[in-house]
Amino acid sequence: VSNHYVLGNEHDRKTPYMWQYLVNFQRELGGATAIEVGYLGSRSYRLERMFDWNETIPGVSGSVQSRKPYPEFTKLQEIGNVAEARYNSLAVKVTRRFQDGFSLLGGYTLSKSTDNGSGIRTLNGDTLFPQDSFCLECEWASSIFDVRHRFVSSVLYELPFGAAKPYLSD
């Protein structure tokens, strides 16, 4: 049998955890408008990531396979708690109530998400394994799901019937 591919799991994997912090300030502007400004941040630790203990050692002599630490195997894949992530955002939300049951909401978020492994499986162009499993610090970059600017809006209309409404109140 050639091309041995070994799958492994750390026997003492730890539970991933996250620190999250949030602060919001709200202010009423007149009787029908409110604004909210807030910061949300998080730090995630012990996230799961695949890595390969049998990566080819760079060089020009010998075949690719002969330059692996264990040349009798193709990959020594392991899943472990080796990834971390950071997220920071600033959000602004404006809400305006109009007459006749209409409300309008608009929100904007400026954010940045970075990590050294966006997921345990590939996501939209992400790689399954790090470029260098022996240097996970070298993998720090924007998360594959990072969205810097996001604007959302909604319109709400309260229907004019039911209890305490002009129509069908009984």
Cα angle, residue 158 at apex, residues 154 and 160 outer, rounded to 5°: 155
pLDDT digits (tens, 9 = 90+) for 50-99: 888 888 888 778 888 888 888 888 888 888 888 999 999 999 999 999 88
* Beta bridge partners of residue 108, listed in sequence order: 92, 151
Read off the pLDDT band of 13 (50, 70, 90).
confident
In whole angstroms, what separates CA 142 from the centre of its chain? 10
Read off the pLDDT band of 47 (50, 70, 90).
very high
In contact, 83 and 127? CB cutoff 8 Å: no
Cα separation values, 37 from 21, 106, 150, Å: 14, 12, 15
The per-residue pLDDT for 25 is: 98
**H-only helix segments in 4-146:** none
51 exposure class (CB count in 10 Å sphere: 0-12, 13-18, 19+): buried
More confident residue, 165 or 42: 42
pLDDT of 108 above 90: yes
Q: What are phi and psi of 163, to 5 degrees?
A: -60, 135
The per-residue pLDDT for 69 is: 87
3-state secondary structure of 50: strand
One-letter amino acid at 134 equals F
Token couple for 60:
């020009």
Question: What distance in Å separates the CA atoms of residue 123 and residue 111, rounded to the nearest whole number?
Answer: 20
3-state secondary structure of 70: coil
In contact, 96 and 123? CB cutoff 8 Å: no
The per-residue pLDDT for 169 is: 74
The per-residue pLDDT for 129 is: 84
Read off the pLDDT band of 1 (50, 70, 90).
low
pTM of the model: 0.79
pLDDT of 6 above 80: yes
pLDDT digits (tens, 9 = 90+) for 118-163: 877 776 777 778 888 888 889 899 998 899 999 999 999 988 887 7
